[in-house]
Amino acid sequence: MATHLKDYLRYGTLALPEQRQMDEVAAEILRLHDANGGATFSLFFGNQAGTRSYSVSTFPERSVTLPGKEIVPEQMEGFLMDNADLLTDPRCCVGTWYDEEADETYVDVSVLLTRKREAISFSKQYNQIGLFDLWRMEYIPTGGTGQMVDDILPEQLRLAPLERT
């Protein structure tokens, strides 16, 4: 059984752990977000902080921006339900990020990548403000605005380049 997303992607024959319950996931994301000002959480593999990967939002049309730092449980549960179609793919995670300067919180569907160059390329392709290095726990600005771009791939094709190698 895969214990980390990296193992699952590397060895396609490994079974996935059981998907966590949405109410438990929502509570854990809120706890992590409150404690750290952000979180990257997989329904299969849990908290991704400390993993050798980069979190990139590749579904900007699914992003939610909230005023302030606080996310209430109903908001997170609604986000999880609205995005269950993507979040049941083990390559996708819920990402939260509090932008202190703007006093706004972003909630996204993010993908995890293991190569920095690829993560930066994806971040730029999807016009993201930045990405997050989960190993070093560092934000990496990539110069985007976070707004939708005109030539974005259809959602069902955005994970194709991330298939197992």
Going by pLDDT thresholds of 50, 70 and 90, the confidence category of residue 162 is low
**pLDDT above 50 (res 163):** no
Round the average pLDDT of the chain to a whole number and report it: 90
pTM for the model stands at: 0.89
Instruction: Compute the distance between CA of residue 65 and CA of residue 53 in angstroms, rounded to an integer.
Output: 24
Residue 158, φ and ψ in degrees, nearest 5: -75, -20
